[in-house]
Chains A and B, each alone.
Chain A
Amino acid sequence: MEVFAAGEIPGFLHVSVGQEAAPVGLCAHLRDDDYIGTTHRGHGYAIAKGIDLKRAMAELFGKKQGFCMGRSGSMHLADMTKGIMGANGIVGGGIPIVTGAGFAARYRGTDQVAVATFGDGAANQGTFHESLNIASVMNLPVLFICENNGWAEFSSIRTHSKIEDIANRAAAYGIPGIITENDVLEIHDAVGEAVVRARNGGGPTLIEVKCDRWHGHYVGDAQKYRNRENIEAAMGKDCIKNFERLLLARKILTKREIDGIEEEIRSELAEAVDFARSCPFPDPSEMMDGLYA
């Protein structure tokens, strides 16, 4: 966010600060050959699924060494070697594509799973309904992870859904619907069960994670539609700090070890930013390489 604010990253940036539990709890169960499709607020999932931070940052900077050759930026992070099929800039657009990855796994007779991640806003797109119905009727190995942060771009969930729990919609497709809090262990448990079910031919699951969006729809969004208390309440719920407290209380990690991990992450990020800065932009003469029509 600092680098973006300094003007080094062009375009839009949609951060998932406050929503770290779901990517971590989910991806702990996934292999490199499992598929994941994310939204344009999907950096967390890409990192948790193992994306190379340097090349990911280079893509955010629009550089040639980025995963998408600087063509697509923050909203389209992808690394197929890690099963990261590509973030989607169209709300709900990725859900049926990931369903297709699940279909491909079934077609080939593998035990891979595919995970579509999206927000509460996307749950009102037709693609949500169509994908869950198709995955259900075809019994595909797909997990649908809905991060319900209560905000669809600039509108509260109260203005776009009469029901509070998206997971209740699973009943309409005859599949399990599970609600979790924004807690990494709770999510880890729920996903674990769903992944096993999917790998064993038990079909799809809808998991709703109740979470909070700390920041605006995009970085720089003044959030005039949202009152101060709502923002402060969101920022008061820190799933990372909660997990740290638990690790300390159970004496799994010491404060020093946690500080060490944080330091490691900071230096990894700093290296990624340095790498991105050092990369060249794509040359306009190569702009149309690989086009076919």
Chain B
Amino acid sequence: MKDIRYISAVNEALREEMERDETVFLIGEDVGHAGGSFGATRGLLEKFGPGRVLDTPISEAGFTSLAAGAASCGLRPVVEIMFMDFVTCAMDSIVNQIAKMRFMFGNQYTMPIVVRMPEGAGLNAGPQHSQCLEAWFAHVPGLKVVTAATPYDVKGLLKSAVRDDNPVIFIENKTLHAVKGRIPEEEYLIPIGKADVKREGRDVTIVTVSRMVSESLLAADSLEKEGIHAEVIDLMTIQPWDRETVYGSVGKTHRLVVAHEGVKQFGIGAEISSAVTEEIFDELDAPVIRVGAPFMPIHYSLEKACVPGARDVSAAVLAVMGRPSSEERNRKP
């Protein structure tokens, strides 16, 4: 085992997959000479050369669709979108092209493409550099949507994503980049489509992703002191999501909180909450509660007030347990 930062785990995953398979190439803004805006691709240009690590013009639509064309011809592109917010410029490419090409052209070719992008607030970067837009992609048939909350997870999931024959939207989180964690020296993969129970508990299930995983674990620690044993499930793959693990947990705890950093309205929590209500309503002892950001653009100086954290998760758990707290009363729904 060794200690590694999240961003270095991304780098290792890319490096190993490029070594393993010469059809894997990297493309995006500043991924080459600059090593990526957040350092994810540092050293890879030097190792693999400019033929496989491509700095592009600032043309998200152009280079994302270029990657799709290359993927349809049998290559395995890994596209970097510098900030998740910029993916809006490539939405035709992702929604109309990449998500549909395999289906639309009758399985004549596969679409092995990964589009990586860092989401989230935390850098005081303002309304256009801080969003969590995963729900958009989860709403489009034909895309796998994956998140990772730890260095261990990001490496294993990204390697699986690169090997997948179908498009994967791979969402990293800017505040996690510097987080350290332990990973094995030897190679490992984490399957896409499988959730991870990060902490077992019997009283309430917290389903969460990305940065909110560590916030939920913090919440679970503090709830423990109040005698509440929370189970924390990192969904990891948002689409297709692991119903079996979530339903199994809710079948045990009978209470559910869904927590994510994206805005609560029409977020992924809405889907999970609805699915649980529709499909295993009898298991629930209380209504599901969602935790998400307020419905507003991210504020520059008041950023912290715009994103949920451990206290919001704790408050939601107390509420779902029928034990409202003062914090919960002070929070806008």
Partner of B70, one of A68, A100, A291: A100
Residue B143 lies at the interface, judged by CB distance under 8 Å to chain A:
yes
* Across-interface contacts of A72 in B (CB, < 8 A): 104-106
Pair B74/A104 contact, Cβ less than 8 Å: yes
* Across-interface contacts of B93 in A (CB, < 8 A): 93, 96
Residue B136 lies at the interface, judged by CB distance under 8 Å to chain A:
no
The chain B residue sitting closest to A293, CB to CB, is B144
Q: Nearest Cβ in chain A — how far from B116, in angstroms?
A: 17
Partner of A97, one of B25, B65, B108: B65
Within 8 A of A (CB), among B68-83: 68-75
* Across-interface contacts of A93 in B (CB, < 8 A): 65, 92-93, 96-97
Residue A134 lies at the interface, judged by CB distance under 8 Å to chain B:
yes
Pair B70/A101 contact, Cβ less than 8 Å: yes
Residue A35 lies at the interface, judged by CB distance under 8 Å to chain B:
yes
Within 8 A of A (CB), among B85-113: 92-93, 96-97, 101-109
- Please count how many residues in chain B sit with their CB below 8 Å of the partner chain's CB atoms: 42
Pair B105/A68 contact, Cβ less than 8 Å: yes
Residue A71 lies at the interface, judged by CB distance under 8 Å to chain B:
yes
Residue A185 lies at the interface, judged by CB distance under 8 Å to chain B:
no
The chain A residue sitting closest to B104, CB to CB, is A72
Q: Nearest Cβ in chain A — how far from B176, in angstroms?
A: 24
Pair B56/A134 contact, Cβ less than 8 Å: yes
Per-position binary interface string of chain B over residues 135-166, scored 1 when its CB falls under 8 Å from any chain A CB and 0 otherwise = 00000011111000000000000000000001
Residue in A37, A98, A104 whose Cβ sees the most chain B Cβ within 10 Å: A104
Partner of B69, one of A89, A100, A292: A100
Residue B66 lies at the interface, judged by CB distance under 8 Å to chain A:
yes
Q: Nearest Cβ in chain B — how far from A103, in angstroms?
A: 5
Pair A293/B240 contact, Cβ less than 8 Å: yes
Residue B170 lies at the interface, judged by CB distance under 8 Å to chain A:
no
Given contacts A134-B59, A134-B63, A293-B144, contact A104 B108 (CB under 8 A): no
Pair B106/A68 contact, Cβ less than 8 Å: yes
* Across-interface contacts of B63 in A (CB, < 8 A): 96, 130, 134
Pair B59/A130 contact, Cβ less than 8 Å: yes
Give the docked Cα–Cα distance between A95 and B261 (Å).
Answer: 36
Residue in B73, B102, B107 whose Cβ sees the most chain A Cβ within 10 Å: B73
* Across-interface contacts of B51 in A (CB, < 8 A): 107
Give the docked Cα–Cα distance between A71 and B142 (Å).
Answer: 14
The chain A residue sitting closest to B73, CB to CB, is A104
* Across-interface contacts of B127 in A (CB, < 8 A): none
Chain A: interface size category: 35 or more
Residue A290 lies at the interface, judged by CB distance under 8 Å to chain B:
yes
Pair B65/A86 contact, Cβ less than 8 Å: no
Residue B239 lies at the interface, judged by CB distance under 8 Å to chain A:
yes
* Across-interface contacts of B92 in A (CB, < 8 A): 90, 93, 127
Residue in B65, B107, B141 whose Cβ sees the most chain A Cβ within 10 Å: B65
Interface hit among A73-81, A163-171, A200-208, A246-254: A73-81
* Across-interface contacts of A101 in B (CB, < 8 A): 69-70, 72-73
Given contacts A97-B72, A100-B68, contact A76 B105 (CB under 8 A): yes
Residue A69 lies at the interface, judged by CB distance under 8 Å to chain B:
yes
Residue A239 lies at the interface, judged by CB distance under 8 Å to chain B:
no
* Across-interface contacts of B104 in A (CB, < 8 A): 68, 71-72, 76, 86
Give the docked Cα–Cα distance between A35 and B62 (Å).
Answer: 18
Partner of A130, one of B61, B69, B109, B143: B61
Given contacts A93-B65, A96-B66, A99-B62, contact A35 B73 (CB under 8 A): yes
Residues of B within 8 A of A (CB): 25, 51, 54, 56-57, 59, 61-75, 92-93, 96-97, 101-109, 141-145, 166, 239-240
Known: A96-B69, A293-B141, A293-B166. 19 other contacts (CB 8 A): A35-B73, A37-B69, A67-B105, A68-B104, A68-B105, A68-B106, A71-B104, A78-B105, A78-B108, A80-B72, A86-B72, A86-B104, A90-B96, A93-B92, A96-B65, A100-B66, A100-B73, A134-B66, A293-B143
Closest 7 CB pairs of A and B: A100-B69, A130-B62, A96-B65, A104-B73, A68-B106, A130-B59, A97-B69
**6 A-B interface contacts by CB (under 8 A):** A67-B105, A72-B104, A86-B104, A93-B93, A103-B69, A104-B70
